[in-house]
Amino acid sequence: MKIHQLSVSAALASVFSSEQGLASSVAAARLAEYGPNRVEPLAREHWLLRLLKEFTHLFSLILWVAAGLAFLADWYDPDQGMARVGVAVILVIVLSGIFSFWQEARIERTLAALQNLLPRQVEVLRDTSVQTLPAEALVPGDVILLKQGDNIPADCRLIEAFGVRVNRATVTGESHPQSCHARASMLESHLDSENILLAGTSLMAGRGRGLVFATGAHTEFGKIARLTQAGTVMDSPLRREIAHLSRSIAYVALAIGVVFFAIGTAIGVPFWRDVTLSLGILIALVPEGLLPTLTLSLVLASQRLARRNVLIRHLPSVETLGSVTVICTDKTGTLTENRMRAERVFLDLRSVGVAELGQDPAVVHQHELFFRIARYCQDLAEVWRDGQRSFDGDPLEVALAEMSERVLVLPAMPPRCDEQPFDSERMRQSVIFPTEAGAVLYCKGALERVLPLCTSIHLAGAVRELDAATRDSILQAQDEMAAQGLRVIALAARPLPQGCPREAQEQALGFCGLVGIVDPPREGVDKAVDTCHGAGIKVIMVTGDHPRTALAIARQIGLVRSDTAEVICGDQLARLSVAQLQLALDAPEIVFARVAADQKMRIVEALKSKGHIVAVTGDGVNDAPALRSAHIGIAMGLTGTDVAKEVADMVLLDDNFASIVVAIEEGRAVFQNIRKFITYVFTHNVAELVPSLAFALFAIPLPLTPVQALSIDMGTDSLTALGLGVERGNPKAMQQAPRPRGAHLLNGAVALRAYLFLGLYEAAAALAAFFFVLHSGGWQYGTDMASSDPLYRQATTACLAAIVLLQIVNVFLCRSAVRSAFTTGLGGNSLILWGVLLEVSLILLITYTPWGNLLLGTAPLPVAVWLFLLPWALGMIALEELRKLLARRRLAIPKP
């Protein structure tokens, strides 16, 4: 037999202990065998090794090679300033690596939140005396002393209990306090047994002694923690996409660099000049500023969401939100207000509004027992606020108590002598009070679990036999209430015969009536659900409520619109195979009702297997595996546990479903904005590459030095690129389906526009400015020039200035791929305007200050060069506007 099925003496014997506890020597031996009572982290690599790995992935390795070549080139020819290039590249590697390492630290924070639920000290019987020991010192066989307010440090079997009530929400998801006792249980599972206390739960009332039978990772709490740590973490779509983009760019950069190094060697180009060429190609093609700019863009997006009650804990999840295809959401508190009130009652076989009860005192008097049950069968705390009494506790119980208080003055709740607690299996609660006539049992719960126990009914102050016709009337009344979106609670009672055994107490009950409780939908939720439908996002309600109530609320908020919606209850779900569940999820409209919290993960995994990007809400410790398994785990900020918040990718500060939709809209905008600044950045990459290729293929000086190219990547273009990353989203973004799962940031359209259109045009302008200065100074084709030659420096400065000027134009062109720049305008994004100001300031400083000339090898430009570049800027606008016009016509987009 299992420990919860044994008597107290047999339970003690099963772990070789006694009521006086263990001897210290025995405890020490067991501690060595079982280990400390704590949630041990999984074996992980040393933090230094993990940090080093962030600097050794493919993207970083290529940049390390570039930095090394730069230092070698500087050693051979110090006049080229290549050491500055090497330092700048290393700075990029370090910043990106530190950020990625910081992201990994969130697993340690999750573990810390789990540990915080366990007490630090505990009173233990050791050597026949009470000792206060660290919770980590507990071992199986220890006897611990527990009192009201204590957190349970390990899985225990109660061997003594006085009025013990436990809140198991953090482990089981059941928020209703449960009464516990020390008697043997005949239940199969120890999780449901009333003599078991689980680690991580808390003692709400009473005192007792517990026999420890599981510690550390062997507790139910430890198993959840282990699963939370070991569960598969899905890479965000953004992480995968950036990795794909980085590999593609890296391979292309390496290939082109190697090919042109080989060509240079074959045609007799001096070795170090060939190295400089290859390095220039590498730096031109690798967008060094991409990862820092992306990070800052995500940070700013998360700050915007924080102002709208969405706290982002994991930056890449901002973009992942834009990929979501399915949202699995709770009902109570997320879709509804979680402010319940009793709306209707079913008495004397007729439905009456609660507001009407005060108009008929006779009815209230005849059904005083009904209101006594509603008031006394609960676990509420009475508090005083502003001089008025109110109730703290489960919102449903508060609604029942407030209903009774409104219609009837009742004496203070008497002390109960016993209780059979509510749990998700029984779905009812019974409390027993002593009276002068003997003990009386009050029962409340789901009708399907209460009505079968009833043999009589209270009608008009009399007790009558409950026949089949009356049962049908009661069931019909429940269906009618549930169809109105009311949560239906049945109330019943019976006087207990003296000596009635516990297992027979909840039999031969007298049915007293039904209460219909309303939990109004949150304001704006219907619009949010409608937005999801328009955006091609499937919303699935997962709730513990009655299926009819769940369906009624789903209809009220527009989640269900047809008459063919699929409703699956928890017991049905338990019988479905993996394949059957996946097929059931194909239903256009589906609601899961009477579902236990631990079944969420199964639904999430099934949706992931079907190729969906899944967001799921949760609030308890037992939700942590599902939150971690989902692509986007969403914890509740008001009602969620610390563990759920630590595991989740985002936290709803207002517990409101509408906030999820706001976050998804922001996520879609982020993806499009990343494409915008990729287009912008890759344009100048081409403009940097083509001059290097011209240097390799023709007898001309190098038009743009590597350090000048880096000044564009990490300096002049940094703030404008970031401005594109925080552009306002397309107002029609939520009228489109989620992007295909295989959609890449760098698709054909983006590549053609950046590389072959804008990039080539900008490169042509840069080379034109370079040659304009050279020819103006009398340079002849084929003539070599020293890097210190003033004419050469002025020509490279003109090339740099051309790229910067056209990038200033380009940032406004890139604000939309199809809308005219004259429509998007110059305003509406202060970051872009500040970025343009920065670009202008930097190019002037680089061009016209001695330190700028010294640092980047530049020289002042005459006004004629700027006048030469002006038509190129206007031509870029004209050509891009023509392309956008043709694109709008092809896509049938009305002229803005």
In angstroms, rounded to a whole number, what is the distance separating the alpha carbons of residues 121 and 104? Answer: 31
Residues 477-504 as b/e (b if ≥16 CB within 10 A, e otherwise) read bbebbbebbbbbbbbbbbebeeebeeee
Contact 473, 348 (CB under 8 A): no
Residues 714-735 as b/e (b if ≥16 CB within 10 A, e otherwise) read bbbbbbbbbbbbbbebbeebbe
In angstroms, rounded to a whole number, what is the distance separating the alpha carbons of residues 501 and 66? Answer: 82
Long-range contacts at 41-50 (CB < 8 A, ≥ 24 apart): 41/108, 41/111, 41/229, 42/226, 42/229, 42/230, 50/101, 50/104
- The C-alpha angle 86, 87, 93, rounded to 5 degrees, equals 90
CA 318 to chain centroid, in Å, comes to 9
Q: Which candidate in 150, 330, 655, 717 is catalytic?
A: 330
In angstroms, rounded to a whole number, what is the distance separating the alpha carbons of residues 394 and 362? Answer: 30
**Residue in 585, 358, 329, 351 with CA at minimum distance from that of residue 482:** 351
Structure tokens at 753: 């526009």
Structure tokens at 757: 């259109």
In angstroms, rounded to a whole number, what is the distance separating the alpha carbons of residues 757 and 750? Answer: 10
Q: DSSP string covering 263-278, please?
A: HHHHTT--HHHHHHHH
User: Tell me, what amino acid is at 568?
Assistant: I
Neighbours of 341 (CB within 10 A): 15
In angstroms, rounded to a whole number, what is the distance separating the alpha carbons of residues 886 and 621? Answer: 55
In angstroms, rounded to a whole number, what is the distance separating the alpha carbons of residues 183 and 192? Answer: 14
End-to-end CA distance of the chain: 77
In angstroms, rounded to a whole number, what is the distance separating the alpha carbons of residues 749 and 894? Answer: 20
**128: which residues sit within 8 A by CB, 6+ positions away?**
20, 21
Q: DSSP string covering 402-453, please?
A: HHHHHH---PPPPPPSEEE---TTT-EEEEEE--TT--EEEEEE-HHHHGGG
Long-range contacts at 837-843 (CB < 8 A, ≥ 24 apart): 838/716, 838/718, 838/719, 838/720, 839/716, 839/717, 839/719, 839/720, 839/804, 839/807, 839/808, 840/808, 842/711, 842/715, 842/716, 842/804, 843/716, 843/800, 843/801, 843/804, 843/805
Contact 322, 669 (CB under 8 A): yes
Helical segments of 698-731, H only:
706-711, 718-725
Q: Which residue has the tokens 């590249």?
A: 89
DSSP H/E element including 381: strand 381-385
Q: Is the Cα dihedral 308, 310, 312, 316 positive or negative?
A: negative
Structure tokens at 416: 């109960």
**Count of alpha carbons within 13 angstroms of residue 678, beta-carbon side:** 24
Residues linked to residue 131 through DSSP beta bridges, in sequence order: 124
In angstroms, rounded to a whole number, what is the distance separating the alpha carbons of residues 426 and 445? Answer: 9
Q: Is the Cα dihedral 410, 412, 416, 420 positive or negative?
A: positive
Residue 784 annotated among the catalytic residues of the structure: no
Would you tell me the crossing angle of helices 237-266 and 657-697 to the nearest 10 degrees? Answer: 0
Residues in the chain: 896
Cβ-in-10-Å burial (0-12, 13-18, 19+) of 45 comes to exposed
In angstroms, rounded to a whole number, what is the distance separating the alpha carbons of residues 8 and 146? Answer: 17
Q: Cite the active site residues.
A: 330
